[in-house]
Structure 1
């Protein structure tokens, strides 16, 4: 990895984290819910985009360096496994079993499915 790619990856990670903060704040301001809708939306969209960009890279439309910057940097900063895990535990601790299971297991199933869809779309476009 070159120094330029490292700097770009680091900056992209910061931008992704900042966007996550903004998106979560906007969602919380518009949707009043104790369910972590913002975190769910962020992780679902990030998984779809990561699959898509990986598909483009597999089809040689996107270089490995750009996949590293966009995928690991930007989308790694944007998505949040730790917050999703914390929110699942919080829901379970407050006795919201269905919401906790939906958040934990539902998000897992949905993010994997959306990653696959994104990968399929990316390889289709690159194909």
Structure 2
């Protein structure tokens, strides 16, 4: 049963990631991968909120499988972050490559901590 929750969450997360990427990127005329950045930070915030909710006892572990592992696992993607950073480096956009790597790590961790803190304030 647990694997089915992960599959259902991922079936929603993957198209959501694609649509988020395309929608956000279409609004920016730059080589910086704002679409992937947005999807990754949103996934980190959501995962922090869900995980914090589970730790606080306000969210069921099945919800964590569905939304945390499934949805967030498919929504956020380290492989695309890595690929786009490599692509920027190869195209000579080294500043954007470094900014992408650094900002993604800082914003992703910040979003996860914010989500966990928000969950604690809601369910603790």
TM-score by length of 2: 0.94
| Displacement of 1:32 | 2.2
Q: Which residue of 2 aligns with 1:6?
A: 3
Q: Which residue of 1 aligns with 2:24?
A: 27
| Contiguous gaps of at least 5 residues in structure 2 | none
| Residues 31-80 of structure 1 deviation map (CA, whole Å, 9 limit, x = unaligned) | 22211000001111111111011111111111112111110001101111
Q: Which residue of 2 aligns with 1:83?
A: 80
Over 3 Å off, 4+ runs: none
2:97 aligned with 1:93: no
The alignment yields a C-alpha RMSD, in angstroms, of 1.0
2:68 aligned with 1:71: yes
Count of residues paired in the alignment: 124
2:46 aligned with 1:54: no
Say if 2:48 and 2:116, in contact at 8 Å, map to a contact too. Answer: yes
| Residues 71-91 of structure 1 deviation map (CA, whole Å, 9 limit, x = unaligned) | 000110111110011001111
| Contiguous gaps of at least 5 residues in structure 1 | none
| Displacement of 1:105 | 1.8
What is the DSSP-based 3-state SS (H/G/I as helix, E as strand, rest coil) of the residue aligned with 1:30? coil
What is the DSSP-based 3-state SS (H/G/I as helix, E as strand, rest coil) of the residue aligned with 1:54? helix
Say if 2:49 and 2:112, in contact at 8 Å, map to a contact too. Answer: yes
Say if 2:17 and 2:76, in contact at 8 Å, map to a contact too. Answer: yes
